[in-house]
Chain A
Amino acid sequence: MINPWHKRANELIRDPLALLPLISPAPIRQFFKGDATSLFDRLVVVVGSPGSGKTTLARLLELGTLMAAVEASDRPDIRPLIEALNAAGLLDDLVPTVLAVRLPANSLYRGLWELPYPEETKHKLLRSLIQARAVLGWFRQLEADETLDVSVVRIHTVDVGEAHRAAIAADSASEFRELARKTEAEIFRVLSALVPPPLEQLSEHISSLVYEPLVAVSAIEVPSFKGRTGPFELRPMVMIDDAHELHSSQFADLDVWLRNREVRTARWVLTRVDSISPSEFRRFQLEDEIERPPAGTSPGRDRLIRPLQGRKARQPFRQTVGDIGRRYMSQIPSFAAQGLNSLGDALPDAQPRMAQTAVRKLRDEVKGLGKRFDLSDATIQAAIDHMPPEAPEELRLAVARIILHREALRTPQRSLFSAGTSDEAEPQLSRKIDNAVVVGAELQLLHDFGRPFFYGMDRLADASGENIEQFINLASVLVDQLETLVIRRKRPQLEPQRQHDALVAHANKLMSHWDFPYAPRVKLLVDFIADRAIELTRRPNAPLDDGANAFGVPQSDIKALEGDPDFENVIHYALAYQAIVMVEEYKCKGELWCIFELGGVACLAKGLTLMRGGFVEGRLEEMRRVVAR
């Protein structure tokens, strides 16, 4: 029995039947909502950070996975997913409608760019290789149905003449496949040669640089499906995964090619946002629905861009991970035996209580503020009463501390030489208190007294940065502790302190294990931003309510990035691995800012708010100095 919490990526789970119960239908419904046909008749670019679910989505669409889903359609844990697949048009009467193949854009494709040929030739080789592999992939997918003789499938083409059909050998499934195999083998030989042949000799190695089945093939007809007599028509589809590994020029050519409406095959490009250029990558984070049409193309008409992560609403992601938590928990028999069906049930989020000695210290401090700012006991009590009496005393006191410091700043200073007179009015405290102030008070208690802050399912979800893999990774340490409790026959619930300690320790461990290019300097940058944010968060008057988790620079500073490739690379990898998130053209105080927000793991490790928007003002030059070699 596998423990899915320890499989950090769904791609590590080979068996579709093991994978399917772990896939939450919620993001599938969200992705395919509205008119799903547009996702199959034009280029769709699916954008998301590593772990956001791109590959899982692509795997779900592959025929082998769809067939496994159909076979297990009567299982209650898979039925909601079947409904989502039906709604998306991927299944029709429990028969798959698409024949999709996922092509990981691995180093092989990128390697084509290094061949010593003109750009046009290299692009032709890339297009041919992708098409050859798509055809070969379709047949491999069909072979997943052992009852099907793949040599009898029919290749339907549209709007092409006999010459084109003949050029791709579409009249015979076997020849169609064999030609793809030959095309792949020829390109592969050139690519893997220690010293590739010169351009003049290329024709001796590759029979034709032009091989275009995707322009022609509109459907693949199978006579039967899993023993059900047909015929059934499947829509061919190619999904180029990890397209960010392509050279930017290759990516641009792919974009132009696949936008062409003459391409009949459904086509998706799945990529990290950094696949085009670092500057465009940053710009892409501006909006949820991204579209920057080049001249001569129509936004939305020839390309759709679908981000898997947004910045606006957190509630859908909380719901999604709640569902994933239930699905994953149900895979572990020891939890099921204890009646523990949801991760949220094991992570209570009731306010923790601090030790009395610490509370006393805080109480004295708040009293001391009365003397310091010359406030009456009634005013102090009014500040404490901002929070309801059922709230823990330390939280009431911490909120009061912030309010009193704010009042002190707001009220004109009294004379040093007069103690004030009775007719001097006491400051009128504002009655309204924002939830963010309470969060700010909690964070101050964390830094001042070590009171736990990171507990409960919502904060766990928020720390995951809308990244399912990160959620599973963070949650896995909590699940491990729950398993220990179950083994020891104790109640499977983790108190806030235990949740907090486990998450913070794990976040620190993850950061210390960062091992991607420029990681040491990314860490320096994260430390710099965190130090500044902590200082601001801990200020007694909590000027940003819940504090900061970001560093903001004037938008105009960002131009300097482009003249410094080394610095740009550091930022690029920090963004790609979600150490930071960059938000450009953020409007604040009547100015435009570029904000470098710490990722969820860094916020956990450093004890910073998980809410968005609070930033420390600074200049880009400060960041550059920190990471300079």
Chain B
Amino acid sequence: MSRLLDPVRSALYGDEVLQFLDASFRRETRVLVIGTVGFAEESLYFPARLAGRPNTDFRYFREMRPDVPAEILRKGQVHEEQLNRVIGTRLVITPLPVCAPDGAPIAGRGACKLAAQWLNEAPYSDVVIDGTGMSRGTCFPVTKLLIEEGRRRGVRVHLLLAGSDEGFTSGITSISSDRGDWVHGFQEQTDTDEFAGALKLWVVQLHEDSRSILERIFSSLQSPEEVCPIVPFPSRDPRRGDRLLMETRQLWQGDWGETPMSLIYADDRDPTDVFRTITELHAARVAALSGARTQSVTILSPLGNRLTSVGMLLAALEYKLPMYYLETVGYRVREVETAPRRETPDHRWCFRFM
């Protein structure tokens, strides 16, 4: 992938993100902001910062899932009203069905179709993707499409992310679809005959309560030969990795037949660390298997924290790696956060593709 700027090396964090946005978008710059109305408070952060800019159009998805509890729907509605108040008529919100009536994940295709249309609406010089409230099945294909189209048309693409360690979402767990799928646009050649006998390395993020998801993906991928679970370490909670290893030990020790030698560690607040970890693993594997007659493929499965799964996106884009996932079809609310809202999210990232 030829480029002027390395999105990982040039990644911006914290206040640098706002400084960059202020400095790089001149008044006459025509900007398209694509985002999703989310139920997390952080999803309002970037739109509020960008709302005051002239020549900026906001095109948002309202992701429609089949099984969402009323409190989450209410929260989404409140956020939609707030966005409308802050942005006004420049905001267009379009419903995006995440699943077909039979449960098949369709968000990626639908989102790409809409994003391609939006890009043609005006001669934009910059596109901002606010991935904060966007699900992976929507965000990743749209990002890939816009990068490809951006390179073709000379449009700069910026991927923004905001997240907090705790918040409204901490009492919410997602319910996954029962059918795995490649993230749209990230199938690569994995499903073709050419790769039918390929040695599969599956790199998967460990996450709380993800046992059945892990089982389902492993089975859908037809038992990859090797599995490298990504353990969150360092982490805000230093024991999180140990707990996850304990929780999933029957899987990685039993079904997957792995040993602690296969575990890889990455900071659960830093997408660039996840990227670097996958890069090292991929490079080592390519070196080890070069010259072998057998094909090999590294398959990534982003789970849990959206911030860190963006590290997988960066690696998938860089090395053309396939990504396999389970779409979220609904949520389970255990408790709703009562802590006061934070003005500034704990983590803010900007990745630039230009």
Do A6 and B250 touch across chains, with their CB atoms under 8 A apart?
A: yes
Specify which chain B residues have a CB less than 8 angstroms from the CB of A515 in the assembled complex: 175-176, 209, 211-213
**Is B178's CB under 8 angstroms from A517's CB?**
yes
- Measured as residues with beta carbon below 8 angstroms from the partner, the interface class of chain A is 35 or more
Q: Is B197 an interface residue (CB 8 A)?
A: yes
A250 CB, nearest partner CB in chain B, Å: 10
Secondary structure type dominating chain A contacts: helix
Residue of chain B at shortest CB distance from A188: B192
User: B interface, by DSSP: helix, strand, loop or mixed?
Assistant: mixed
Rounded to whole Å, the gap between the CB of B39 and the closest CB of chain A is: 16
- The complex places the Cα of A192 from the Cα of B330 at a distance, in Å, of 26
Most buried by A among B187, B188, B211, B250: B187
CA distance A108 to B191 in the complex (A): 8
Report if A335 contacts B (CB, 8 A): no
Task: Please choose the segment from B5-13, B100-108, B231-239 that sits at the chain A interface, where 4 or more of its residues have CB less than 8 A away.
Answer: B100-108
Cβ–Cβ contact A565 & B101, under 8 A: yes
Binds A, one of B26-34, B45-53, B62-70, B79-87: B62-70
Contacts A107-B179, A518-B67 known; A114 to B223 CB distance under 8 Å?
Answer: no
Is B185 interfacial (CB 8 A cutoff)? Answer: yes
> Do A14 and B176 contact each other (CB < 8 Å), given the known contacts A188-B191, A194-B144, A247-B102?
no
Taking a contact as CB atoms under 8 Å apart, the answer to whether B250 and A517 are in contact is: no
Give every chain B residue within 8 A of A192 (Cβ-Cβ): 182, 185, 187-188
Cα of A573 to Cα of B109 in the assembled complex, Å? 25
With both chains docked as a complex, state the minimum distance between the C-beta of A3 and any C-beta of chain B, in angstroms. Answer: 8
- Against B, the Cβ 8 Å flags (1 = close, 0 = not) of A161-204 are 00000000000000000001100110010011111000000000
Task: Tell me which residues from 202 to 255 in chain A have a Cβ below 8 Å from any Cβ of chain B.
Answer: 245, 247-248
CB-CB under 8 A from A114, the residues of chain B are 100, 104, 106, 109
Interface residue B219 (Cβ < 8 Å from any Cβ of A): yes
A-B contact count, CB below 8 Å? 116
Residue of A133, A513, A520, A569 near B66 (CB, 8 A) is A569
A2-41: contact bitstring with B at CB < 8 Å (1 yes, 0 no)? Answer: 0100111101101000000000000000000000000000
Whether, in the assembled complex, A140 has its beta carbon less than 8 Å from a beta carbon of chain B, the answer is yes
- Known interface pairs A194-B148, A515-B212, A517-B178; A107-B104 also in contact (CB < 8 Å): yes
Minimum CB–CB distance for A6 against chain B, Å: 5
Once the chains bind, are A629 and B255 in contact (CB under 8 Å)? Answer: no
B193 near A184 with CB under 8 A, answer yes
User: Could you say which of B106, B179, B184, B187 contacts A245, with CB atoms under 8 Å apart?
Assistant: B179
A520 and B67 CA atoms in complex are apart in Å by: 10
Give the size range of B's interface with the partner: 35 or more
Q: What residues on B are CB-neighbors of A14 within 8 Å? A: 223
Smallest beta-carbon distance B207→chain A, Å = 12
CB distance A195 to B113 under 8 Å? yes
Judged by a CB distance under 8 angstroms, whether A136 is at the interface is yes
Q: Which of A3, A104, A133, A573 contacts B193 (CB 8 A)?
A: A133
* In the complex, residue of chain A having the shortest beta-carbon distance to the beta carbon of B189: A188
List of A residues within 8 angstroms of B153 by Cβ: none
Query: In the complex the two chains form, is A8's CB within 8 Å of B215's CB?
Result: yes
Residues of A within 8 A of B144 (CB): 194
Assess the A140–B175 pair: CB atoms within 8 A: no
Q: Are B211 and A513 in contact, with the CB atoms below 8 A? A: yes
Task: Report the minimal beta-carbon distance from B275 to chain A, rounded to whole angstroms.
Answer: 22
Report if A519 contacts B (CB, 8 A).
Answer: yes
Partner of B177, one of A7, A185, A517: A517
Does B187 contact A136, Cβ atoms closer than 8 Å? no
A521 within 8 A of B: yes
Q: How far is the CA of A565 from the CA of B212 in the complex (A)?
A: 26
Q: CB-CB < 8 A to A193: which residues of B? A: 185
Chain A residues near B255 (CB-CB < 8 A): 6-8, 12
Asked if A106 meets B175 with Cβ closer than 8 Å, knowing A6-B250, A184-B193, A194-B145, the reply is no
Question: Bound complex: CA of A515 vs CA of B210, how far in Å?
Answer: 9
What are 5 A-to-B residue pairs whose CB atoms are below 8 Å?
A6-B254, A114-B100, A185-B194, A194-B141, A195-B145
- Please name 7 further chain A to chain B contacts, defined as beta carbons within 8 Å, in addition to the given A184-B192, A193-B185, sorted by A numbering: A6-B250, A113-B104, A184-B193, A194-B144, A518-B66, A521-B67, A569-B67
Closest 7 pairs between A and B when the two form their complex, measured CB to CB: A515-B212, A107-B181, A136-B193, A192-B187, A194-B185, A194-B145, A517-B329
